[in-house]
Amino acid sequence: MKKLFSTSFLLLLLVLPLIGHSEIYRYITPDGKLLLTDTPKHRGYTQLVKTHRGWEPKKADYHKPANKRALSRYIRKAADTYQLPYDLLHAVIRVESAYNPRAVSKAGAQGLMQLMPATAARFNVSDPFNPADNIDGGSRYLRHLLTLFDNNYTLALAAYNAGENAVIRYGNKIPPYKETQNYVRKVLKLYRANKAS
């Protein structure tokens, strides 16, 4: 408990001097360390804004090319390891989290590929907020779904969103959930656009 207090106190001491400034930026290093500053050193930093929930990232900043490039090596490695289209993984991450490694959904899904805690445990993801771990686990799950549904991207993506049992329950068709139908449409549209560019 003493260690927890001193770590929290140290973080508070680091943040307090920045609160007086109009702009605060954060950078999450590839190994998951959090850096805060009022003077970003490169484009990989994300501006934070004050909201009713506290300090949060500006959503649009995650779409910056520098953020995509920073994640591309993990995406490329996962694509090669699990024999997945590189552009498909980019599309999934864009729709799931908008490239926000700290994203948390209302349902509790976490990180870049929005892994539910049970899915993260199932695919041995120890830290869902670590970009490399999250992309590896999400890619492994997507590969599992593609194998399960005979490489049918539509069904695999529907299962990624709604769960594999939902797809099976509806006779190996996209479940009649508006969210899932929109999700599949968005990911496939982005995937095709990525491939074409």
DSSP string for 156-188: HHHHHHH-HHHHHHTTSS--S-HHHHHHHHHHH
96 counts as catalytic: yes
Q: How far apart are CA 116 and CA 67, in angstroms?
A: 23
Q: Kindly state the tokens that stand for 73.
A: 């090596």
Q: How far apart are CA 193 and CA 188, in angstroms?
A: 9
Inform me whether the pLDDT recorded for 168 exceeds 80. Answer: yes
The catalytic position among 23, 56, 96, 164 is: 96
- Say what percent of the chain tops pLDDT 90: 56
**Tens of pLDDT along 14-68?**
554 545 545 787 877 777 778 888 887 776 777 777 665 666 666 545 556 667 7
Angle at Cα 117 formed by Cα 189 and Cα 76, nearest 5°? 45
